Amino acid sequence: MSQFLPERVVCNGEAFRLYISKEQIDTRVAELGGIINREYADNKPILIGILNGSFIFLADLMRHISIPCEVDFYKLSSYGDEKVSSGLVTERKMLDASIEGRHVIIVEDIIDTGLSMDYLLKKIKDQKPASVKVITLLHKPDATRYDVQIDHVGFEIPTLFVLGYGLDYAQEGRNLAQIYVLDSND
């Protein structure tokens, strides 16, 4: 069955156009998986996906990891149903795993202002892991106001509102297989 790969989509009444194709995403995610295989060849990492947005990236990334690894999830929310951050991070699900002494890889879909990652890194480091790295599919460097650690980035993008491949607009659009940009960003 072929995937639904439209050039344009409408989500919650707003028009979006294709920005990063499935082919570009697949290529980059495979490269990032290869980087993890090399960096953690001797250390079984635990990947921590930040819900909700990271679930598709994390699932694809893990399928490119050929070394032993584990996964757990942390759920944060700072955007609610809006296009801009509320400035307040809400913690909705804690980790189940103990990460003390573990090699942790935090997996995000996007780092925008950096507020969520700033909050999360403090929480994770408080639990005394052996090491922490941050991998994000997207990063908006011009929007990032917090001096957060970012180890690997899939794509650096300008300050545009993007949708799909896990990223939502008012909770919709996460199922899109490609990444789209809001037309009215122009």
Smallest distance from ligand PRP to CB 96, Å: 18
Closest distance of CB 31 from ligand PRP, Å:
21
Nearest 5°: CA angle at 127, between 121 and 133? 40
Fill in the per-residue mask, 65 to 84: x = in contact with ligand PRP (CB under 6 A), - = not in contact: -----------xxxx-----
State the minimum distance, in angstroms, from the CB of residue 1 to ligand PRP. 27
Among 113, 152, 155, 170, binds ligand PRP (CB under 6 A): 113
Does 115 help bind ligand PRP (rule: CB under 6 A)? yes
Among residues 84 and 130, whose Cβ is nearest to ligand PRP?
84
Buried residues in 87-117 as b, exposed as e (16+ CB within 10 A): eebeeeeebeeebeebbbbbbbbbbbbbbbb
Cα angle 106, 154, 67; round to 5: 55
Cβ proximity to ligand PRP, 27 vs 159, nearer residue: 159
> Which CB atom, from 103 or from 139, has the smaller least distance to ligand PRP?
139
Burial class (CB in 10 A: 0-12, 13-18, 19+), 10: exposed
Query: How far is Cα 111 from Cα 141, in angstroms, rounded to an integer?
Result: 8
Residue type, 52: N
Closest CA to 15 of 164, 186, 182, 185: 182
Q: What DSSP character marks residue 19?
A: E
- For the bound state, the minimum distance from the C-beta of residue 113 to ligand PRP, rounded and expressed in Å, comes to 3
Among 52, 58, 69, 104, binds ligand PRP (CB under 6 A): 52
Q: Which of 57, 61, 109, 129 binds ligand PRP (CB under 6 A)?
A: 109
Q: Given the structure tokens 């999360």, which residue do they identify?
A: 120
Catalytic residue set: 112
Residue numbers at the binding site for ligand PRP (CB under 6 A): 50, 52-53, 76-79, 85, 108-117, 168
